[in-house]
Amino acid sequence: MLPVRDLTLSILRLLPLTVLDPSRAIVFWTIVFLSAVQHRRLAANEERIYGVVKNNFLEVSLSGLFYGLAGGVMASMFLVLIGVSLTGSGISYLLPLAFALYMVNPRLMCFAYAGGIVSLCHLVFGFPKVSVPGLMTLVGILHVTESVLIRLSGSGCPTPIYLRNRAGRVVGGFGLHRFWPMPLVALVMVVVPEISKVPGLIEMPDWWPLVRPAEAALSPDALFAMVPIVAALGYSDLAVTCTPAKKVRRTSTALAAYSLGLLGLAISSTFVRPLQWAAALFGPLGHEAVIALGSNRELSGEPAFVPPPRGVMILDVMPNTPASRAGLATGDVITEVSGVPVNSRSELGELVQRTPVFLEITVEDPRSGTSRTVRFRGVVHELGVITVPEEGDRPHVDVRRASPAIAMARRLVTRLTGKLGRR
């Protein structure tokens, strides 16, 4: 039986070293800083589009740090209980390859693609020397953790956007972005001449580890040691056919199913060698299927946030505004302002400005078919709502993003052309 209590205590004692030990803390806090920069960039985009910031980057960054710490404990438990050794796993190839894939397309910056490519190169060419079961099990564990983090916090800071779907229509939606700095405790193999004299050893059952590294046969004096390392996870998605909360449930469920399937194949491939091919192929192809199906559903499906037959639909409500204090929410439809029907954003704005005192609006909930009257106290100059796009509105984002490498080349050509033109 696994000594879960002893392993848990060891993991909890080692995790703080990732944050406090100078040799590792510089990496961890650099990732924290870069995550904050990403959240700050998203907040700047909100301010550019709407004139105000909806998601405070500091609060979002601290939330990501908290959930990242919790995710690190979870992933560490999986790594240790399953018995995934980083020694010989090929983890050192993942980050450089993931960055290279990012330059081709940002969404390819994922360990599923990098891990699959490294594993297939090993199986086909014999290089690099890696443990396919260990590498793909590591990828599976990270994605299981990601699916849990998405479910817990993926919808916590949605950004309202206008975008063009595949039918060419400008529709409302939400950009979902989260970054989680994550401290981990993982296993490495070390050779100790006199194992019996090593203090603090935890005796494990005979069947452990499930993923057996080839190095285990090199020396009878080899044992597993737990070491703290640093990782990070990120999530980027669109919610167009449903609310962010529902989209997060869909994505996390699909990702969890994929991750558990990959884990099953990777662990089984330790004992049935031909399954290494299945794990190496399922890693990138299964992940691509999850992404493609989710993206196709959002961009080709029936959009949820478009003008209703009558009234004005709310896409989102800005914080600390009369609308948020009155309980207005995404999907609500404003049909009347002080008894006057409204059917456009401009009519809504004019009527609110015309009757700033004793303002009352009639709101319908199309999901339940109910309506209610909301009365505002005091002077109201603006409700603080973002409405769905109307005819003539332009998209805020282009979902067909060019690769960073192409974007850099375009900027370079533009600068050179400008310099030559000035000459």
Q: Which residues partner with 386 through β-bridges?
A: 316
pLDDT of residue 195: 56
pLDDT of residue 404: 53
pLDDT of residue 246: 96
pLDDT of residue 135: 93
Please state the pTM of the whole predicted model: 0.89
Sign of CA dihedral 342, 345, 347, 348: positive
Residue 154's Cβ-count burial label (10 Å; 0-12, 13-18, 19+) is buried
CB 143 within 8 A of CB 259: yes
pLDDT of residue 204: 78
Q: How far apart are CA 202 and CA 200, in angstroms?
A: 6
CB 261 within 8 A of CB 322: no
pLDDT of residue 328: 93
Residue (of 328, 325, 296, 292) closest to 313 by Cα position:
328
Residue (of 63, 68, 53) closest to 19 by Cα position:
68
Q: How far apart are CA 266 and CA 131, in angstroms?
A: 10
pLDDT of residue 254: 97
* Ranges in the chain, pLDDT < 50: 406, 410, 413, 420
pLDDT of residue 300: 94
Helices (H), 237-388: 244-268, 275-300, 322-325, 345-354
CB 132 within 8 A of CB 123: yes
Residue (of 273, 236, 274, 271) closest to 255 by Cα position:
236
Question: What is the separation, in whole angstroms, between the first and last Cα of the chain?
Answer: 77
Residue (of 399, 422, 102) closest to 414 by Cα position:
422
Bond from prior residue into 228 cis (ω within 30 degrees of 0) = no
- At 395, the amino acid letter reads P
Structural domains of the chain, with CATH: 4-300 (no CATH), 312-387 (2.30.42.10)
For residue 284, give every residue at least 6 positions away whose Cβ sits within 8 Å of its Cβ, in sequence order, or none.
Answer: 112, 113, 115, 116, 117
Token digits of residue 410: 């375009």
Q: How far apart are CA 421 and CA 423, in angstroms?
A: 5
CB atoms within 10 A of CB 215: 15
- At 184, the amino acid letter reads L
pLDDT tens digit sequence for 256-287: 999 999 999 999 999 999 999 999 999 999 99
Sign of CA dihedral 391, 397, 400, 405: positive
